[in-house]
Amino acid sequence: ERCQKVCPHNQTAKPTEEVLLQPKDDFLAMRKEDWHNLSLDKYRNIFKDSAVKRVKYEGLIRNIKIAEDNSK
């Protein structure tokens, strides 16, 4: 997130209006507790046809736990 905020290319970037690149409503509705209770089915639904699937469910869960530990 810090990298995105300080990147000079992002200072003038405009949000895309491309429908296919918009986040799904289910993703936008996720809260911290939802991420900690993310089921495999919910993961598959939210990230269907997404590059996030490259990390796989187990990798995403691992990253969520690491992010939580780093925020303490």
Q: In the structure, what pLDDT confidence band is assigned to residue 1 with cuts at 50, 70 and 90?
A: low
pTM for the model stands at 0.71
Q: How confident is the model over 13-58, as pLDDT tens digits?
A: 888 899 888 889 999 999 999 999 999 999 999 999 888 999 999 9
d(CA 20, CA 32): 25
Q: How confident is the model over 2-13, as pLDDT tens digits?
A: 787 888 888 888
Residue 47 contacts by C-beta under 8 Å, 6 or more apart in sequence?
27, 53
Q: What is the pLDDT of residue 12?
A: 85
Q: What is the pLDDT of residue 5?
A: 80
